[in-house]
Amino acid sequence: MELKKNYIDGAWAESVTGRTQEVINPATGEIIALTADSSEEDTNRAIASAKRSFYVTREWRNLNGQARADMLLNIAALMDQKRALLAQTDTLDNGKPLREAEGDVDDAIHCFRYYAGLVTAPSGVTYDVNDGFGPMHSYTVAEPVGVCGQITPWNYPLLMSTWKLAPALAAGNSVVFKPSSNCPLSTVMLFEIFHEAGMPAGSVNLVLGSGGAVGHTIASSMDVDMVTFTGSTKVGQSIAADAVKNLKKVGLELGGKSPNIIFDDCDLDGAVEWAMIGTFFNQGQVCSACARIYVQDTIHDAFVEKLKAKTEAMTIGNGLSNPDIGPLVSKDQMEKVLGYVEKGKAEGATLVTGGCRYTEGECAGGFFVKPTIFDNCTQNMTIVREEIFGPVACIVPFHTEAEAVEMANDTEYGLAGTVCTKDGAKAIRVMKEIRAGILWINCCQPTFNQAPWGGYKMSGIGRELSVHGLEEYQEVKQVNIALETGPIGWYEH
Ligand code: NAD
């Protein structure tokens, strides 16, 4: 079986210890690849390579914006040529239905194109000032931060890599990248594309391996100027603590437990479909999943009946055959989700449908969980409070708007939220009350390169995508020019 290697200083390299890790297809339980299982030493080699690239050879950093944009467009074109293979790779590695993986690849391609455009747009501000030292012309320049460490999760392997790599490279940084060891394969392909496109040696470095060895080394290194991370809140906290050592810049995209408030004046069929997308898309392994579903008591029974019928009609299978729902990413994740199902039952929620592993036909060896609905949930239940990261909807009935808003905000997280109502004023009112970074009204989950992505509270620090996503990877320098040369007579009294 081919070994997937690290990419350091423009060359592919095994880990110094020769250790490897297995990559499993979650639809079958079979091993589909081996990757390097890197150590602290491998990681430090990659960091040294990025440091040399940024501070010594400066090839990538010194390119002008147009030249960097041309390279990003070239990368996007190569991704487009390999669209089918990239999508199949994410489906094999992660389990997601092929049409979802294809959507991810398209979004990733557009993300590189978007930042290619943005990096050639005018930036900075100018102002004329005089605060007693004579007239000055003052302006700002955006510069790359330096060596950026980037660490990603397994739920959107290619897309999460792209959301970090495209803006960091557009800004002129050098990167050390660590994907999740659960789903590293499409990111390895992306680095093959970087190589083919001719990215300068050392500007992009890939280290495959565990969080404890590779991730921790990146986050705590004195030679890394910035670390950006997408993953669980718990690991995000440890990364922030590691980063304190040299006060590196930190960007954190963390977990969530987002609400979906459904009022009785909504379009009921629309609300049911968006609730399914908000809960079951990507097998529910979505940070912005809106699986805490608050339904107004007057339509509660009708909503649950429709949701149950549509959920039970969902097809389950190997992602390659394009079902509605594929396997969870791993045996561990499946067991974690089934553990939450048992907690839900034990704490008194009503199991409406699902709630067990699915092993029929081709699914026998895979890690499938039937789409699950719990009804009559209450705020204090574990399944309402904690991020499950699986296909589990938790329905909580409510009576008044104020009650719904209060319950929606009763969480340590603040990533996203959804409101379903045909009353525009009510939608805006509730949207303004929800303490979260991403709000959907009469829809759920669509994401755009143009719009900032990120959370309030324990869902993160900073924003990805949009112009904000580029600015995260830039330092801003102010430059002040005296408009009159010569002495100003400050010490002449
Ligand atoms: P995770 O936190 O377990 O792992 C994420 C990454 O961190 C992996 O690459 C892992 O190897 C690495 N890591 C683990 N321990 C580390 C350590 N001590 N130091 C440095 N790196 C370490 O998360 P996961 O299970 O891969 O992904 C699921 C989580 O990601 C969920 O909580 C989900 O909400 C979150 N997520 C958030 C967003 C967002 O945009 N806010 C997007 C996708 C996923």
Ligand 1 contacts (CB < 6 A) are: 151-155, 160, 178, 180-181, 210-212, 215-216, 219, 230-232, 235, 238-239, 253-256, 287, 387, 389, 415, 455, 460
Domain contains 485: no
Closest C-alpha among 77, 82, 109, 84 to residue 98: 84
Burial of 29 (0-12, 13-18, 19+ CB in 10 A): middle
Structure tokens at 363: 């699914």
| Ligand 1 center–CA 229 separation, angstroms | 7
| Ligand 1 center–CA 140 separation, angstroms | 35
* Number of other residues whose CB lies within 10 A of the CB of residue 66: 11
* 323 lies in the same domain as 431: yes
| Ligand 1 center–CA 155 separation, angstroms | 9
Q: What is the pLDDT of residue 110?
A: 98
* 223 lies in the same domain as 287: no
| Ligand 1 center–CA 160 separation, angstroms | 11
Q: What is the pLDDT of residue 493?
A: 86
Q: What is the pLDDT of residue 243?
A: 98
Q: What is the pLDDT of residue 404?
A: 98
Q: Which of 235, 333, 472 to mutate to test the pocket of ligand 1 (most atoms within 8 A of CB)?
A: 235
Domain contains 493: no
Of all protein residues, the one whose alpha carbon is nearest to atom 32 of ligand 1 is 232
CA atoms of 192 and 364, how far apart (whole Å): 34
Q: What is the pLDDT of residue 464?
A: 98
**234 CA closest ligand 1 atom index:** 2
* Domain count along the chain: 2
Torsion of CA 313, 314, 315, 319, to 10 degrees: 180
* 337 lies in the same domain as 309: yes
Domain contains 356: yes
Closest C-alpha among 189, 73, 188, 174 to residue 120: 73
Domain contains 69: yes
What single DSSP character describes residue 338?
A: H
Q: Which one-letter amino acid corresponds to residue 355? A: G
Residues of the chain predicted below pLDDT 50: none
CA atoms of 108 and 90, how far apart (whole Å): 12
* 324 lies in the same domain as 464: no
Q: Which of 178, 232, 257, 387 to mutate to test the pocket of ligand 1 (most atoms within 8 A of CB)?
A: 232
The residue from 183, 266, 287, 290 that is catalytic is 287
| Ligand 1 center–CA 295 separation, angstroms | 31
- Its pTM stands at 0.98
Which ranges of 255-392 would DSSP assign to H, the alpha helix? 268-280, 300-312, 331-346, 382-385
DSSP string for residues in 33-73: EEEE---HHHHHHHHHHHHHIIIII-TTTTS-HHHHHHHHH
Domain contains 448: no
Query: Which residues have CB under 8 Å from 395's CB, separation 6+?
Result: 293, 294, 295, 300, 303, 304, 307, 352, 373, 374, 375, 376, 377
Domain contains 486: no
Q: What is the pLDDT of residue 124?
A: 93
* 273 lies in the same domain as 229: no
* 56 lies in the same domain as 92: yes
* 189 lies in the same domain as 276: no
* 469 lies in the same domain as 411: no
Domain contains 454: no
Q: What is the pLDDT of residue 44?
A: 98
* 290 lies in the same domain as 367: yes
* 201 lies in the same domain as 271: no
| Ligand 1 center–CA 77 separation, angstroms | 29
Domain contains 305: yes
Question: What CATH number does residue 209 fall under?
Answer: 3.40.605.10
Of all protein residues, the one whose alpha carbon is nearest to atom 15 of ligand 1 is 211
* 328 lies in the same domain as 374: yes
The residue from 100, 102, 183, 253 that is catalytic is 253
Of all protein residues, the one whose alpha carbon is nearest to atom 16 of ligand 1 is 211
Question: What CATH number does residue 371 fall under?
Answer: 3.40.309.10
* 303 lies in the same domain as 415: yes
Q: Which of 229, 287, 411, 465 to mutate to test the pocket of ligand 1 (most atoms within 8 A of CB)?
A: 287
Helix (H) or strand (E) holding 111: helix 98-118
| Ligand 1 center–CA 303 separation, angstroms | 34
Range of the domain at 16: 3-254+459-479
Decide if 292 contacts 394 (C-beta within 8 A). yes
**389 CA closest ligand 1 atom index:** 31
CA atoms of 221 and 208, how far apart (whole Å): 17
Q: What is the pLDDT of residue 1?
A: 85
**235 CA closest ligand 1 atom index:** 2
CA atoms of 467 and 91, how far apart (whole Å): 30
183 noted as active-site residue: no
Q: pLDDT digits over 100-129, tens only?
A: 999 999 999 999 999 999 999 989 999 999
